[in-house]
Amino acid sequence: MLAERLSGQTPEFVVLAFVVLFLLIGIAFAAGYFTRDFVSRKRRAEARRWREYTQPDWLPAGAPANTNEIASPATGELGRMLNRWESRARARRAS
């Protein structure tokens, strides 16, 4: 009896299940894009707020990282290797 009903015909509930599954996947995909957009807008708004940030006078400012001051010489094997690289780079720039 069940084999007669399923032979050759696609039951309506299987088609309906595929349609519902397709709709759920579409909704999940749209929700992911919405979430991504929401988080990006929030992050950009926070970056715009912090762009005007000025450091208070009472907070000691550390030395800026991007200075042209000569750092203290490094010691050890790594220091020697870095010194060699820097001296070669200076020689290339000078020539």
Residue 11's SS3 state is coil
Domain edges within the chain: 10-53
pLDDT value for 1: 47
pLDDT digits 0-9 by tens, 42-93: 998 888 787 776 666 776 666 666 667 666 666 788 888 888 899 999 999 9
Of 56, 58, 37, 40, nearest to 48 (Cα)?
Answer: 40
Q: Which residue has the higher pLDDT, 33 or 7?
A: 33
Interatomic CA distance for residues 61 and 55, integer angstroms:
8
94 token code pair: 């000078």
| Residue ranges with strand state E in 23-73 | none
Measured distance CA(18)–CA(10) in Å, rounded: 12
**What would the two tokens of residue 46 be?**
């926070």
- State pTM to two decimals: 0.39
Q: Is the pLDDT of residue 41 over 50?
A: yes
